[in-house]
C-alpha cells in the first residue's frame, strides 16, 4: 500500500489574500497574527500578503470573492461568531460557510475557512493562541498546502480537454498516413466490364 503524501508547507513565492473580521477584534486580531507568523515561518514574505479588513463575518464573503478573482494563490478568511439569544449566529455561519466553499470551487483557488463558531469569548481566546492552538495559523497552513497541491496537479497532469484534443489529433495523423488502394475498372463501350486478363493483355501490348 502506498503511503499518504505528506503535506508541503512552503510559502516561498506564494501570494495570499488575508481577510479578517473586525467583530470580536480581541479574538480575530490574535488569529490574524497567528496567520501572518505561519506564512512568514513557511518561507513567505509579508509583502506577498494582501490584507483586507471586514466589518463582520457576513462581509467576509464578498471580500473573499473579490480576492479570489485576483492574481493570488489562496485566500485566508478569519472571523468569529459567538452564539447569542437568537438564531442569528446560525444564519451567519451557514450562509458564510456555504458561500466561501462556492467561491473556492468556482474560482479554483483555496479559501481557508477560519471562522470560529463559539458559545463564549473564552472559547475564542483558547483557539486564538491559547491552549487549543491558533485557528489563524491552522487556516494559513491549510491554504499554503492546498495551493501547492493545486500547483503540483497543474504541472503533473494535463487537463482532460487538452488530453482528448491531443488524442484526436493523433488519430487524425494516423488516418492521413494510411495508404489506400484503388481498383481501376474499364468498361466496353456498351458498359460491360472488361475482364482482368484482357486488361493485362492490353497493357502488355502497349
Does any domain span residue 191?
Answer: no
**195-198 contacts, C-beta under 8 A, 24 or more apart:** none
Q: Kindly state the helix (H) or strand (E) to which residue 160 belongs, with its residue range.
A: helix 160-177
Q: What CATH number does the domain containing 82 carry?
A: 3.40.50.960
Residue 88 appears among annotated catalytic residues: yes
Question: Who contacts 7 (Cβ-Cβ below 8 Å, separation ≥6)?
Answer: 145
Residues sharing a CB contact under 8 Å with residue 63, sequence separation 6 or more, in sequence order: 19, 52, 54
According to the model, what pLDDT value does residue 7 have?
Answer: 78
Alpha helices (H) in 16-134, listed in sequence order: 25-41, 60-68, 88-107, 121-126
51 occurs within a structural domain = yes
Task: Given the residues 24, 88, 102, 164, select the one marked as catalytic.
Answer: 88
Domain containing residue 142: 16-156
Q: What is the pLDDT of residue 51?
A: 98
Evaluate whether residue 179 is within a structural domain: no
Report DSSP state, residue 165: H
Give the total number of structural domains in the chain: 1
Local confidence pLDDT in tens for the 206 residues of the chain: 667 667 779 999 999 999 999 999 999 999 999 999 999 999 999 999 999 999 999 999 999 999 999 999 999 999 999 999 998 889 999 999 999 999 999 999 999 999 999 999 999 999 999 999 999 999 999 999 999 999 999 999 988 766 666 666 766 666 666 655 555 555 556 656 656 665 554 444 44
- Residues 66, 79: Cα–Cα separation, whole Å: 17
Residue 27 lies in a domain: yes
Q: What is the pLDDT of residue 150?
A: 95
Is 104 among the domain residues? Answer: yes
Whether 165 is in a domain gets the answer no
Residue 53 placed within a domain = yes
- Domain annotation covers residue 105: yes
pLDDT of residue 21: 97
Amino acid at each position: 500500500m502506498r503511503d499518504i503524501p505528506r503535506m508541503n508547507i512552503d510559502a516561498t513565492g506564494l501570494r495570499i489574500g488575508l481577510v479578517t473580521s473586525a467583530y470580536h477584534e480581541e479574538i480575530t486580531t490574535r488569529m490574524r497574527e497567528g496567520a501572518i507568523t505561519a506564512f512568514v515561518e513557511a518561507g513567505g514574505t509579508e509583502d506577498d500578503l494582501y490584507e483586507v479588513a471586514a466589518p463582520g463575518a457576513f462581509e467576509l464573503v464578498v471580500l473573499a470573492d473579490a480576492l479570489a478573482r485576483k492574481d493570488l494563490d489562496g485566500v485566508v478568511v478569519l472571523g468569529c461568531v459567538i452564539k447569542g439569544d437568537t438564531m442569528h449566529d446560525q444564519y451567519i455561519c451557514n450562509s458564510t460557510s456555504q458561500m466561501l466553499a462556492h467561491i473556492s470551487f468556482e474560482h479554483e483557488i483555496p479559501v481557508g475557512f477560519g471562522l470560529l463558531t463559539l458559545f463564549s469569548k473564552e472559547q475564542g481566546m483558547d483557539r486564538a493562541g491559547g491552549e487549543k492552538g491558533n485557528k489563524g495559523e491552522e487556516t494559513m497552513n491549510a491554504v499554503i498546502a492546498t495551493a501547492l497541491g493545486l500547483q503540483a496537479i497543474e504541472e503533473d497532469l494535463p487537463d482532460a480537454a487538452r488530453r482528448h484534443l491531443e488524442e484526436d489529433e493523433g488519430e487524425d495523423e494516423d488516418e492521413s498516413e494510411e495508404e489506400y488502394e484503388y481498383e481501376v475498372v474499364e468498361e466496353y463501350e456498351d458498359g460491360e466490364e472488361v475482364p482482368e486478363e484482357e486488361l493485362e493483355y492490353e497493357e502488355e501490348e502497349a
